[in-house]
Amino acid sequence: MNEPDFDGVDEALALVGRAPARLAEPRPPGHRDTSWPQARALAARAGGGATPRVRRAPLGAALGRILAEPLTALTDLPSFDTSAMDGWAVAGPGPWEIRAGDSVLAGHGPTPALPDGVAVRIATGARVPADTTAVIRSEHARAEPGRGDRPGTAPSGGHLHARHEVVPGQDIRPRGQECRTGDELLPAATVVTPAVLGLASAAGYDELATVEPPRVEVLVLGDELLTSGVPHDGLIRDALGPMLGPWLRALGAEVPAVRRVGDDADALYEAVAGTDADLVVTTGGTAAGPVDHVHPVLRTLGAELLVDGVRVRPGHPMLLARLTASRYLVGLPGNPLAAVSGLLTLAEPLLRGLAGRRAPEPCRAPVRDGVHGHPHDTRLVPVVHRAGWAVPLHYAGPAMLRGLAAADGLAAVPPGGARPGDELEILDLPWTASTAAPVPAPAQGGCFT
Ligand SMILES: Nc1nc2c(c(=O)[nH]1)N[C@H]1C(S)=C(S)[C@@H](COP(=O)(O)OP(=O)(O)OC[C@H]3O[C@@H](n4cnc5c(N)ncnc54)[C@H](O)[C@@H]3O)O[C@H]1N2
Ligand code: MOO
């Protein structure tokens, strides 16, 4: 490729400059790469076209999964008129004669209707007797003992006086207040959180229909990679194997194992041809070096290249291939930040579709400092959120993870760059929701959550 200066920009911009943005130059003709927005849309379409596998699982096994169908109420909630307080059920105007006998407790069937002028003790959560006008909480009522009541026993035969005005319906939760049978409580594609489990249980569910997580196999290429110890003799540590498994799981995938296949074309062919995963993610070997085997292996397999290079820095050699009607391969470049760029550009939207998840609301934030742009390509730059600003981080070169490890997200810098105050799209990292500091709402809100 005849763009040494532009590629050099990526390295130079590992330290973020403050120069004013340059205007985008026209793309040289004949370039085959896909634009960054197109690549994301293509990956999302490929994932969204798949038919998700659905499984009915007991509530306890559904946590973190995606609802395959809407959650509709199997009952009215509450399913009967319920007392909201411990106190007295009363009918008609007071004072009321206290009905002798047991209190009305939670968990019991219907009790006899309440005639006007009568009160009966009732517990929070109990079914209110038919014809009850209101519930008066204990502290708002005064019970006058009847004859024969012993101290410490429930008064009976005495009278009940309200200390405050009684409003009809007070402290009664009417049947169906929260929902009616058949109401849609949550749409399909909702993530099953602990709160969803609670709601599903309250609404009568024993099990939930959820989308089976897509299975992803990670193949780490490269003979130069060590799995332990300090880099030596030209060998380096594998930074991607330890990162990609948990990252892909955070995106809703099942990742049984990360395999290292070295720079062996036959081993790569065998691994890809024999996989039963929905998605194979490879790292390294996407460029045109002597041991870059991803393209030749895909050709031998007859795979269809949906994306072959993306106009994004770092990570432009990333690719997306269809292996069979329902299996995909995402080739991530070997440089670690370039691999993350491929993960967010291609693997994330593809997996979102395969996992049945909804697209997140796009999130934008103003960038505090000017950011150099690539002349033709989008740049992804690690940023932290500070007082409503996205602040670009240093150490953002293609081979570096130092900036990313401190980041809250990646800002998409358009071709030509950004000036201070420009609103940029921010890609959240899957863990930022739990670590982000409270944010004074930026212009468009929603980032880092
Ligand atoms: N002639 C050209 N050479 C390169 C181009 C180009 O356009 N023309 N693009 C460069 C860019 S940009 C990238 S990104 C890389 C992509 O290369 P590959 O996907 O083929 O990756 P490798 O060559 O295998 O590795 C690149 C680099 O990353 C290191 N690496 C690989 N795997 C890991 C890992 N798991 N953990 C840590 N580091 C890893 C590897 O040692 C290399 O240093 O190609 C450029 N070349
Ligand atoms: O610029 Mo590459 O895409 O090093 O990452």
Q: Judge whether residue 114 has pLDDT over 80.
A: yes
pLDDT digits (tens, 9 = 90+) for 383-426: 999 999 999 999 999 999 999 999 999 999 999 999 999 999 99
Query: How far from the centroid of its chain's Cα atoms is residue 262's Cα?
Result: 33
Residue nearest to atom 24 of ligand 1 (CA): 284
* pLDDT tier at 147, thresholds 50, 70, 90: low
pLDDT digits (tens, 9 = 90+) for 180-193: 999 999 999 999 99
Least confident of 52-61, 138-147, 327-336, 400-409: 138-147
From ligand 2's centre to the CA of 314, what distance in Å? 4
Which pLDDT score, from 0 to 100, does residue 11 have? Answer: 53
Which pLDDT score, from 0 to 100, does residue 14 have? Answer: 47
Q: Are 318 and 35 in contact (CB under 8 A)?
A: no
Ligand closest to CA 332: 1
* pLDDT tier at 66, thresholds 50, 70, 90: very high
Q: Could you tell me which of 252, 378, 278, 242 has the C-alpha nearest to residue 318?
A: 378
Ligand closest to CA 290: 1
Residue nearest to atom 3 of ligand 2 (CA): 315
From ligand 1's centre to the CA of 191, what distance in Å? 36
Ligand closest to CA 237: 1
Which pLDDT score, from 0 to 100, does residue 18 have? Answer: 39
Average pLDDT over the chain, rounded to an integer: 88
* pLDDT tier at 31, thresholds 50, 70, 90: very low
Residues in the ligand 1 pocket, defined by CB under 6 Å: 1, 220, 222, 224-225, 236, 238-240, 283-289, 292, 314, 316-317, 333-336, 338, 398
Closest-lying ligand 2 atom to the alpha carbon of residue 337: 5
State how far the Cα of 297 lies from the Cα of 272, in Å rounded to an integer: 9
Ligand closest to CA 319: 1
Q: Judge whether residue 1 has pLDDT over 50.
A: no
Out of 259, 264, 335, give the residue to mutate to test ligand 1, the one with the largest number of ligand atoms within 8 Å of its CB. 335
From ligand 2's centre to the CA of 12, what distance in Å? 12
From ligand 2's centre to the CA of 344, what distance in Å? 14
State how far the Cα of 354 lies from the Cα of 15, in Å rounded to an integer: 37
pLDDT digits (tens, 9 = 90+) for 86-101: 999 999 999 999 987 7
Residues in the ligand 2 pocket, defined by CB under 6 Å: 10, 313-317, 333, 335, 338, 398
From ligand 1's centre to the CA of 220, what distance in Å? 12
Ligand closest to CA 220: 1
From ligand 1's centre to the CA of 310, what distance in Å? 15
Residue 10 main-chain phi, psi, to 5 deg: -60, -45
Top-confidence residue, 331 or 27 = 331
Asked if this assembly's ipTM is beyond 0.85, the reply is yes
Residue 399 main-chain phi, psi, to 5 deg: -95, 5
Instruction: Provide mean pLDDT across the span 348-370.
Output: 94
Out of 13, 240, 311, 313, give the residue to mutate to test ligand 2, the one with the largest number of ligand atoms within 8 Å of its CB. 313
Closest-lying ligand 1 atom to the alpha carbon of residue 240: 35
Residue nearest to atom 4 of ligand 2 (CA): 398
| Side chain identity at residue 170, one-letter code | Q
- DSSP assignment of 307-353 equals EE-EEEES-TT-EEEEEETTEEEEEE-SSHHHHHHHIIIIIHHHHHH
Name 427's Cβ contacts closer than 8 Å, sequence gap at least 6: 344, 380, 409, 410, 411, 412
Q: Are 395 and 14 in contact (CB under 8 A)?
A: yes
| Distance from the first to the final alpha carbon of the chain | 39
H or E, element range at 196: helix 194-202
Closest-lying ligand 1 atom to the alpha carbon of residue 239: 36
State how far the Cα of 57 lies from the Cα of 213, in Å rounded to an integer: 13
